[in-house]
Amino acid sequence: MSNKEPLLTSAQVARELGVAAGTVARWVRAGWLTATSTTAGGQSRFLLSEVKEQLKARHLERDT
C-alpha cells in the first residue's frame, strides 16, 4: 500500500475544509486554488496539503 497523499475531488476538498462545494469552485475560478491535476474529462483533482498551502498564502485557511 502506498503512503502517497490521495488526490481529492473538489467536493472532497470542500468536506475536508468545512465549506460548500460551490466555495471551492469559486476559489478555482478566482485563481485562488490551482488543481494538482485534471482528469481526461476535465475534472479537477487536488492534494489537500497543496490546497491548505494555497489558502494559507491567501489567508483563507480555517483553523482545523
For the residues 34-42, what does the mean pLDDT come to?
A: 95
Spans of all domains in the chain: 10-57
Write the pLDDT tens digit of every residue in 22-34: 999 999 999 999 9
For the residues 7-29, what does the mean pLDDT come to?
A: 96
Say if residue 2's pLDDT is above 90: no
Burial (CB < 10 A; 0-12, 13-18, 19+), residue 30, is: exposed
For the residues 25-52, what does the mean pLDDT come to?
A: 95
Say if residue 1's pLDDT is above 50: no
Backbone angles phi, psi at 30, to 5 degrees: -80, -10
For the residues 42-47, what does the mean pLDDT come to?
A: 95
